Structure formats: C-alpha cells, structure tokens
Chains A and B, each alone.
Chain A
C-alpha cells in the first residue's frame, strides 16, 4: 500500500511538468480523421470503459464501420443533430495525454462551407495534422487546408497519408504524395513539414511503428507529437503588454493587469506606454503567489510602475527601443465568417487585443481562391471568402504584422447590429501616408486657441475619454 502511494505521487509530479501541445486536425469526411483521433485517444488509454460501452451501443444503431468493429468516429461526434447527419459540423475539442505531454485537439470538419470552423479551431494551434487518403493523394481540399494553416501561421505541419493498408503500404505511393505535398508547402513558405504513412483504422505508425512499412525510417505519429519542440515558436523578442484591467485596491497600489502577448519583462526595465509615449520603470511584477523578478509570454501578471502614469485598458506597455506599429490604417488578410456578406459602408467594431474601436473596410485589394491560391479581382466577400483588404480605425492601434507576432497581429470584426463576429484578420503591414484616404484626425492647437496651460490636463483628460469612446482628437500644445 505504502509503495503504491509513492507511485501515484511520482506520476503526479511527472504529470505536473508536462507541457501542452494544441493541435488542429483537418481532412475531408472520408479521410478517416475521426478514426485517427479516436485511435490517439483510445490508444493513449484515456477512454473510460463506460464511454466505450455507450459507443458499442451507438455502433449497432448508426455506425458506419463493419459489423463487430468499433467505429472510433462515433466517439467524437458530440451533438445529436450531427450524429444523424453523419458529419461533424463544428469545432470540437478533445483532450488526451501521454507520458510526455498533454494534448488538446481541435477537431474541425473538412467540408467546404466550414472554412470558418477550421479557422476557428486553428487559431491557437501549435501544429496541424492534414489527412489525405493514400488512394486519392493531394486533392483540392488538401490544398485549401494547407493554405488556411499557412494563413493562420501554424508553425508545424504533419501530413498523415492515411489508408496505407488500401495501397499495400506502397513506398512509391507514399513518396509521390509526399513529393507533391512538399512542392505545395514550399510554395507557401511553410518550413516544418513531416509526412507519415499511416493506417488509422489498423493503427499502423499511429502510436507504434508498423512492421508493414519497413522502408519508412521516421518515428510513429504519436512519438513525433510527443517530442516536436514548440516552446521556441513564441515571440520572446518583442515585449508587448496590452493592458487588460487596471487594479486599484487601495490608494497605495495601482497595477496594470494583462497577459504578456510576447517577449519578456524584468523588474527595473524601462517601459513606454502607448499612445501617451510616457516612460517609466517596472517597479514590481505582482502575482497572487508574490512578486516575480521577470515574466514572459503568455503569463498573466500585474505590473506596477515607478511613476504615476495614467494608462487605461486598451493601451499598451512596451519597451522604448522596440515599438510596434502605431497607426489607424493597415493592410490585412481577412476571412469572412458571417452569413451576411461584407458591407463596405458599415462601421464595424474592431477588437484587437484589449482594444475595441470603430473600423471601416476602405478597399478590397484582392480575393484568394482557396483551392488554387490564385488572386482574384477584389469585390465584397461572402461567407468563407478570404482576401486582402485595407482597414481604417477610429482609434489608434498598436500592432505588429501577424507574421512577426501572432498575438498583436490578429483582430476580429464585429457587426454593430447583429453583434456577430463577422470577420477575422491577420495584419500584413501598416499603410504609409498617401496610401490611405484615412480622414485627417481633428486637431486642437491649444496655444493657437489661447488656452492657458493650467487647463491642458483637463483638456487632455476629456480627449482621452473621447478616444475611449472611439473618437480620436489630436492635441497640440
């Protein structure tokens, strides 16, 4: 008994240190995606017996597997309506863990009208598994999924060539598919791509290496998932701290709460607040457990400064020698997520980190054919359409390109009438003066107006309040 206790403690101590890999799976209905996920879950022994019993009951009634076989896909189809339709219609999240790592799978459907869901499921993923049927190879959907994965900036791609059992585990078939696929990923600029010959149904090369593919020199899929290094994928260079909440429990404490979007901050570091450009130093980094000497992304902390600077939610703390873009106009990739088509006359709400402002789509540069990646002429987007647009906001934003910083380069557009999330964007670059027909910001020249200096603070306070409400006014002193 005593010995057993020590075992479980050792297990928990080891478990505590595991890191987390978020992965996206994409494939079409018949690629065996649900079967693969079911097997990863099942073989990692995380399925409890009664869930299995429920599965056996369901298999008899609606299963698509042969008589007597467990339909792994049924494990995953949660909602009643979908189960009857026989397809997964939305993003579903699955959890499993091995001795090495914890995993969150965002399971998304491959069906054409659900680009929206794949984008939703993939936005936080470290890695994407793209499934193809060995008999069909790289098809239109594979191209679309790969394009979306590259658009989302997912760093690691796994191509799982499934149903190898149906092509006699042929090395030639696998190599041809791999070659064709690498052409595609090279074209898209994706660096880390690994290909696996598997049979999800039979289990070959999923958890353990298969004897049926002696020509295959790599690891099993699971072994790869357990060991692929991900912690360097985050931007640890550029410190960006969007202020989320201002904490003032008493007169002696003023802390700025937030989740570090990127980079590292240390006690004593010099900082600059945007947009005021006021400088100070980090007095302390506070957490529930006590103060930290340094903090890094994506930690949620509270930062206190040496000087009393007024900083509100939506503003950003950065380092003086490393500023993000500061502006109101940018070029961005945009994915339309709403049944209601794009309306360029509309003023959307744009949410970027903790900052919300009014925004309009000034122009559509081009659309992308997600199947061929060709650029098409620009016109308003419909549901699931993707392209490049120019956006102007009412308030100043502090941003980076999505390519450089997934956290500060992303935003959503919210329809002001329906409140739906209409579109999501990945910023490409800021627009220079002259590139935009951005309206000039109204200006108050306080000196020219003959306003005495003692009124400046009140006027600045009023202007800051207007800015919070989405109206930008520039003050000249």
Chain B
C-alpha cells in the first residue's frame, strides 16, 4: 500500500493544521473575510478543521460600503447557512463624510474605508490573530511573507525583520497590543483555488461567472454600474456587456473582463490561456510601484 497525498490534499492538511494552531494558541482570533474566492476556500477549510464542531472564532468583513451588492447578499446568506458568527465593520465616520472612490480617488478611499476601517476594527475587538486569505503566488511582496506574520502594535509589517519559520512549528508569542496575521493559503496558487472550489463544490459569488451586466469604461477599465452612485457623466455610456470578475472588491475599483465563462471549467480554461495576471483588474495596485508592499507595511492585510 502506498500512502500518497495529492498536492491539494497536502495543501489542505497544511492549512487545517495552521487554522487549528491559531485556535489553540491565541486568545481572541478572527478570520478576515473578503467574500472573494480565496476567502470562500479559507472559510471552508476552517469548517473542515473543527468538524463536526463549530468554528471557535468569528468571521469579520470590513465593508467599505462600495462592495458589489451581490457580495453582501452572498456574505449574509453564507454566514447564516453555515452558522458563522459574522462581524461587519465599516469606517462610518469617513462614509458619512462622503468618502468614496469617485470623489476622493482610489488611494484615499482605500486608506480610509479599507485600511483604517480594518485597523480600527482589530483594535476595537482586541483581536490577537487575524486570518487573511492572501496567497504567495499573487504578488511579489507576499511571496516573502511568513505564514505567521508578526505585526507590531501599530499593525505594521517589517519585511526585513521577520521571524524565522521552520517546519510546521509556528511562533505565536506576542506582547500585549501586538498581533499575528495568519495566511493559511500561503502555498496555494490561483489554479489550486479553482480546482478546490470545483472538487469541493464550494459556493462562490456569482460575479465570478460571466453574465450580461451594465458596464461603462472608465480609464480603460470595464466598470459595472452596480448602484446609482455612478457619477452622472458616465450614465449615458452604460452598455450591457458579457463580463465576469477575476477578483472582487469595491465595484468602482474592480475592472471586469469580457468573458463567456459560465462554469469553473471555462473559467480555468480562460485563465490558462489568458494574458493578464489576476491582480491587474484591481485598480489599487497601480497607484505606485511596489504599492502592495507599501500597503502591507501600513497594515493593509
């Protein structure tokens, strides 16, 4: 008898081990939930880790108030169906002051509605560990980050001063106010995620599948007109187009791609033959060179 695991089984057992380790060693962990496909996989892995019991930590979504409506609907249905304790937090002060991507630009919007909202929420609940669904193959600075990524009391990441991380022994010791970001999907690739969603029948937001949607072109990006906050100047330009989304975020900052892919197989096929890597449809990455590294240093996931 040969005892072999496939690469997905191996990734799965590694992730479950990481998730259980956090539940065992931290007093107050939280799982950050972006509602995207990677989050969907991470959430399922957490359910697997504690089955037949309940997951012993809450799920938290930082709502920038500009997410696609279908994401919010999916989030609420999923949490209810699978019995998750769901926390939703927003930077209401900035929202009430009218901050948004159209009026303030992507940088200010992201800083206030995503980064600041996240940091405030982490401080509010005094979470000492926060799971994130980031993968190392996504982006260059993430490729160098540990699975247990230490953050000082200002939530900052120091790429030059990372704790050595060996075998599957994770150092979870922090002083008061410090925390660890944990990335259980570190070693998964985009294809692994799709393959796993396919094999495990994991529910994902329908925006990933192609459909006729009302879109306008803004600075070369196909933007879906998701609600009536689209500035008046663009409204006459709305056209129905067969599109889907490769990543999900704030609708004015997330470009769609033209596509006919309505099944996971077709999405994978498109991905294998595509010429653009995943994050290029996310507008925030283009702000500056090494922008994700900068954002991570400031505490953004």
Contact = CB atoms under 8 A, between A and B. Distances in A.
Interface in B267-285: 268-269, 272, 274-277, 280
Interface residues of B, number: 69
Interface string B164-180: 11111101011100100
Given A120-B164, A300-B20, A414 B289 contact: no
A302 B289 CA distance: 46
Interface in A84-98: 89-95, 97
A51 to B, nearest CB: 6
B159 interface: yes
Contact of B23 (A90, A245, A299): A245
Contacts of B235: none
Nearest to B192: A102
A399 interface: no
Contact of B51 (A48, A288, A296): A288
Contact of B163 (A264, A296, A420): A420
Given A48-B274, A419-B171, A16 B195 contact: yes
B265 A9 contact: yes
B166 A410 contact: yes
Interface in B198-219: 198-199
Interface string B112-151: 0000000000000000000000001100110110000000
Contacts of B143: 78, 92-94
B207 to A, nearest CB: 21
B144 A78 contact: yes
Max count, chain B CB within 10 A of own CB: residue among A234, A247, A406: A247
B24 A313 contact: yes
B6 A80 contact: no
Interface stretch (A131-139, A199-207, A321-329, A345-353): A345-353
Interface stretch (B9-17, B63-71, B236-244, B249-257): B9-17
A342 to B, nearest CB: 15
A123 B169 CA distance: 10
A184 B277 CA distance: 43
B166 A80 contact: no
Contacts of A117: 164
Given A50-B276, A94-B143, A407 B265 contact: no
A19 B52 contact: no
Nearest to B23: A245
Interface residues of A, number: 78
Contacts of A449: none
A100 to B, nearest CB: 11
Interface in A418-436: 419-421, 424
B47 to A, nearest CB: 7
A81 B49 CA distance: 38
A389 interface: no
A123 B136 CA distance: 18
Given A15-B191, A420-B163, A78 B140 contact: yes
Contacts of A247: 50, 53
A80 B274 contact: no
B152 to A, nearest CB: 11
Contacts of A4: 269
Contacts of B17: 244, 259, 300
B7 A19 contact: yes
A286 B272 CA distance: 36
Contacts of A424: 164, 166
B35 to A, nearest CB: 22
B96 interface: no
B4 interface: yes
A102 B9 CA distance: 12
A412 interface: yes
Contacts of B266: 5, 8
Nearest to B150: A419
B293 interface: yes
A414 B164 contact: no
B160 interface: yes
B3 A236 contact: yes
Contacts of A50: 275-277, 280
Contacts of B168: 124, 259, 407
B277 A89 contact: no
B295 interface: no
A104 B14 CA distance: 14
A212 interface: no
A288 B47 contact: yes
Contacts of B79: none
A391 to B, nearest CB: 15
B52 A89 contact: no
Given A245-B20, A412-B171, 4 more contacts: A15-B191, A50-B275, A97-B191, A411-B169
* Cβ-closest 8 pairs across A and B: A78-B140, A249-B53, A20-B7, A48-B277, A123-B166, A288-B48, A80-B290, A49-B275
Interface of A: 4-5, 7-9, 11-12, 15-20, 48-51, 77-81, 89-95, 97, 101-102, 104, 116-117, 119-120, 123-124, 231, 234, 236, 244-245, 247-249, 253, 257-259, 264, 286-288, 296-300, 302, 313, 337, 349, 351-354, 406-407, 410-412, 414, 419-421, 424
19 contacts: A4-B269, A8-B265, A8-B269, A12-B268, A19-B5, A19-B6, A20-B11, A93-B137, A95-B187, A102-B192, A120-B165, A123-B167, A244-B21, A245-B20, A245-B23, A299-B5, A410-B169, A412-B164, A421-B171
